[in-house]
Structure 1
Amino acid sequence: MKTLGLGAASLALPGFLKAADRSESKPNIILIMADDLGYSDIGCYGGEIRTLNLDALAAGGMRFTQFYNCAKCSPTRATLLTGQYDQAVGQKNLEHGVTFAEVLRPAGYRTIISGKWHQQPLPTTRGFDRYYGLADGCCNYWNPGIEARPGEPKPGRKIAGPRRWAIEGESIMGYTPEDKNFYTTDAFADYAIARLEEYKNETKPFLLYLPQTAPHYPLHAWPEDISRYRGKYKTGWDILRRQRYKRQIEIGMFDPKYEMSPRDERVPSWDSLSESEKDQADLKMAVYAAMIDRMDQAIGRVFAKVKEIGKWENTLILFLADNGGCPETPDTTPNIPPGPVESYRSVGPEWANASNTPYRKYKSTDYEGGNCTPFIAYWPGVIKPGSKTDQVGHIIDIMPTFMEVAGAEYPGRIENGKLKPLAGKSLLPIFQGKQRKQHDVLYWQFGKAKAVRTGDWKLVKYGDADWELYDLDKDRTELNNLASQHPQKVKKMAGMWEDWWKNCRK
């Protein structure tokens, strides 16, 4: 998409001129997004899964306790890429916006993406120089195609038709790699490392976007990674939730004044399961944990390459997830255990409920369990190591942040379309240890889910149920519905949501 002219939007960003006029070189940027990762899955957010590289990133950077996504894969990606709500920008085609790659490339950046792309136009048509990965929703980790490799069973699948893969600007419908050691998480890292090596002598900064498919179903992982966790989850999801909640409090990532949410009503007690059922459930969670472990290993390999080429000290790194843990159960191979290429299994609501500790609900809902994500920011010399913040952030803030740190400008208009303004504001003041003026209001919608947050008040609903009202300052886990006590506030906030929804269509 062609961008035409330079608008005033960039100059309205807090600190923009200061950022644009800085004498130091522009930072490299690495943006990593996990897929269907629960709030408590990684170690630095209370999890027991081995995530040494992400934990080290958090120790050297900043962790947010109130950072939000859009609670669903494709909407989150549209919003993240453009700095606009997906309902306004056009979730599928991004027709009313520009991507951060389209903004950063004119500012002198080499733009690379390796991983999952969930929009219709390929990244190479939307500002990215190079691309490799899944241009679809999900795929078999061992074999994204339809046909089996020689000597292997057919890959387990969710749907009969092919998933779209892409290499640079070419779409491939049914991508079956020849290498029997192919595994998507490893392949995404390999491509990123190869591009870093290719461009290591360039003087221009790089933007590397690494949207993972892990740990989204299907449950596929290397046997050596699975063995690290097999048997460790036989204590069950009830004890795991309590352990994670306790650890979150111990490491300062959750205030003990907030109760942990009760076990979700869809989930049976662990003790009600037979020994055989417990063993099968343990295997599912062991594979899920192994997928996260392998993702962290892959991230570590990319980090090692950045250090090797001497770019680490001038690199801003952000890590987040696209939504909360996933309760969906597309188990198309129920008689094949999770792990190998021929299987297609999911972790289900039981372990997803534990993944989202201490919050309620899941992906595709706008309760905290669906839309509150881990968010780590690392930038040597700018972000104080080991810091935490309770300031509220949202993925609409990523584009303005990149613009400010890069001295980039938002275009005045786009060819053949209506360019809508940015919805977010830069996170740089928070990174610098300052108090940022908070958002006046934040909105959510996906399918049957709706929510609006203003200050500490959050109004949320799902389907035909009534609006629910929570005071997040006193009730982060959304246990005490105050709607009946504050009917006027409910009416006002519901009206704000309706007005926003109508304006998105204009």
Structure 2
Amino acid sequence: MKHAAFMTISALAFGLLSPQKSIARQQPNIVVILADDMGYSDLGCYGSEIPTPNLDKLAQNGVRFTQFYNTARCCPSRATLLTGLYSHQAGVGHMMNDQGPDHEAYRGQLNNKSVTIGEALKSAGYFTAMSGKWHVSFDFNVNPANRGFDRSLAAPNGGFYYADKRSRLFLNGRELDVNNAPELPKNWYTTDIWTDYGLKFIDEALTEKKPFLLYLAYNAPHFPLQAPESEIAPFRGKYLQGWDKVREARYRKQIQLGLIDSSLKPAPGNPIIYKWDTLSDAKKKQYDDMMAIYAAVITHLDKEVGVLIDGLKKRGVFDNTVILFVSDNGGNAEPGIEGRYDGAHPGTVNSDVYIGQGWAQVACTPFWMYKHHTHEGGISSPAIVSWPAGIPKERNGKFEQQPAHLVDILPTLLDLAHATYPSEYNGNKIQPLEGTSIRPAFTGKNIDRKNPIFWEHEGNRAIREGKWKLVAERSERWQLYDLEKDRSELKDVSRQYPKVAADLEAKYNAWYTRVHAEPYPKPLNSWFYDYTSLKSGE
């Protein structure tokens, strides 16, 4: 294996031996890392007090995006990342429930009018691999093994970290016995095995002398929060100061880092969240423990990113590997104010811990709202790009202010791989890409974005064009914000700029029709919606 890796490296370094070698030299390796339910401020390099030294170092030697967007929810974000289409166009307009043939945007699975990053790059000569949470259906052959990935270790859904009744794993499309499979280590933890198998797949790519694409979809830090006790213990007591003080500290650190300007004021605290000083000592201890487990899950994720980076370096391929790290939605406030806490065995294999709204608000610092929602807290991701061979050293540690979105990932990978996007694939007509390559931003150039960015989830909606954002929760009227001056969405200027608002609304309505979006049929959930207008005192 070492010999095969050395031969691959030599070919990349010196290989003008043939036109094919020259082409391979121009194709970087690519790793796309997706975190699950990680808020905008949850990494140290985005303001957090949680130690994330490996991702911080990746940012110091790469580029951080300040305005990278997701779709506000797990399944739609994965569909968008995988296809370069809005999730409705890919068939995953909501989650994985199939609404039937009369609702083509809501079939709950990737359709055949899309191609995945695996299919697109495999056609360009890449060895394609996926490790982690799939969550765009495992039915009807919609799984990594049948959607372009040469190798995969995948979970159909998330919801677990250790082997238990909820866990299912598939190796190259074949289901494993999660408790007894010889392919799995004893007492495995998902974050570890996703990384380990990712490196195994990379070794296969090197043996085959192919550039590789690894889609590494961690399920951390999604609930139910579970982590080794030895990693939780150091955080206990650190959060007894309460969510308001932790949020304020993150905001100050974001200014210090240069992530945000001091003129950007944080969105006000949600008025329905408990005031920390009114809680009993027992409740404070409980919420401290919940956040300690969350912090441990994130530090463990960072540790495994370090294992991946070390593995790439040992194999001699780190410098010419593009690593893109991003999250699928904002911090998670489910199932409401209380969160969820298993006081008997918190953090263990049988525990079921959710951080709740108070800590989710911290995760989304300095913005308003969380996962599910199209205000900035719900759709803003930390996003880091590393590529030593392709990003000039003078760009190291820089912030990139241009907006980007998950819909841009496939176009970017095509650009990096010198690959073409098909108009037909496996006999099916393929929809045109919606995103654009953000590769120019790696080197400080302008992204050639010709169209607005759109959102719709559960009736929450938004459109972003230039500095303007038109946004509304399901229960609200449209609001207009100038994000150059007001990223935290404090001052609605729709009455000052009615023509701008009307133009954006018309573009949004045309998009909504084109992607076959539909009204969300379920009743309003009070903890999500009843207080949305309180932010601005309306």
Give TM-score, length-normalised by structure 2: 0.84
Q: 1:239 to 1:264 in 2, by over 3 A?
A: same
Shift of 1:186: 1.1
Q: Who is 1:295 aligned against? A: 301
Aligned pairs (5 A) from 1:131-142? 131-136=152-157, 138-142=158-162
Hey, what does 2:265 align to over in structure 1? 259
The 5 A counterparts of 1:294-373 are: 294-329=300-335, 334-373=342-381
Amino acid at match of 2:74: C
- For 2:456, the equivalent position in structure 1 comes to 445
Separation of aligned partners in 2, 1:122 and 1:50: 34
CA change 1:333–1:357 in 2 (3 A) is closer
How far is 1:401 from its partner? Answer: 0.9
Q: Distance in 2 between matches of 1:22 and 1:185?
A: 34
Cα distance, 1:73 vs. partner?
A: 0.3
The number of residues matched between the two structures is 469
Q: Which runs of 5+ in 2 are unaligned?
A: 1-20, 93-108, 518-538
SS of 1:391 mapped into structure 2: coil
Write the distance in 2 (CA, Å) between the matches of 1:52 and 1:187. 21
CA spacing shift, 1:197–1:203, aligned 2, 3 Å: closer
Equivalent residue for 1:395, pick from 378, 395, 406: 406
TM-fit CA distance, 1:141: 1.0
Residue 402 of structure 1: how far off its partner (Å): 0.7
User: CA separation of 1:235/1:206 partners in 2, compared to 1, >3 Å: closer, same or farther?
Assistant: same
Could you list the runs of 5+ residues in structure 1 that have no partner in the other structure? 1-19, 147-161
Aligned to 1:85: 86
Higher relative contact order (CA 8 A, sep 6+): 1
Alignment of 1:119-158 (within 5 A): 119-120=136-137, 121-136=142-157, 138-143=158-163, 145-146=164-165
Q: How has the CA–CA distance of structure 1 residues 142 and 223 changed in structure 2, closer, same or farther, with 3 Å as cutoff?
A: same
Is the contact made by 2:423 and 2:429 (CA closer than 8 Å) also made in structure 1? no
Distance 1:97 1:261, change over 3 A: same
Q: CA deviation at 1:412?
A: 2.2
C-alpha separation in 1, matches of 2:223 and 2:414: 34
Aligned partner of 1:464: which letter?
Answer: S
Distance 1:408 1:359 in 2: 37
Q: Which residue matches 2:533?
A: none
Could you tell me the percent identity over the aligned residues? 41
State the alpha-carbon separation in 2 of the partners of residues 495 and 220 from structure 1.
45
Asked whether 1:116 is paired with 2:133, we answer: yes
For 1:37-52, list aligned pairs within 5 A. 37-52=38-53
Q: 1:478 aligns with which of 489, 499, 514?
A: 489
* 2:430 paired with 1:429: no
Deviation at 1:202, TM superposition (A): 3.0
Is contact 1:21-1:407 (8 Å) kept? no
Q: Could you tell me how far apart the structure 2 residues matched to 1:502 and 1:328 are?
A: 30
Amino acid corresponding to residue 128 of structure 2 in structure 1: T
Residues 1:75 and 2:82 aligned together: no
Match of 2:382 in 1: 374
Find the residue that maps to 1:312 and give its secondary structure.
Answer: coil
- In structure 1, C-alpha distance between the alignment counterparts of 2:497 and 2:445, rounded to whole Å: 33
Residues 78, 94 of structure 1: 8 Å contact kept? no
8 Å CA contact 2:144–2:154 kept in 1: the answer is no
1:237 aligned residue (227, 238, 243): 243
Secondary structure in 2 matching 1:67: strand
CA distance in 2, matches of 1:353, 1:182: 31
Distance 1:269 1:21 in 2: 62
Q: Tell me what 1:183 maps to.
A: 189
Instruction: Classify the secondary structure of the residue corresponding to 1:375.
Output: strand
| 1:285 aligned onto 2:291 | yes
| Structure 2 contact 423–432 (Cα < 8 Å) conserved | no
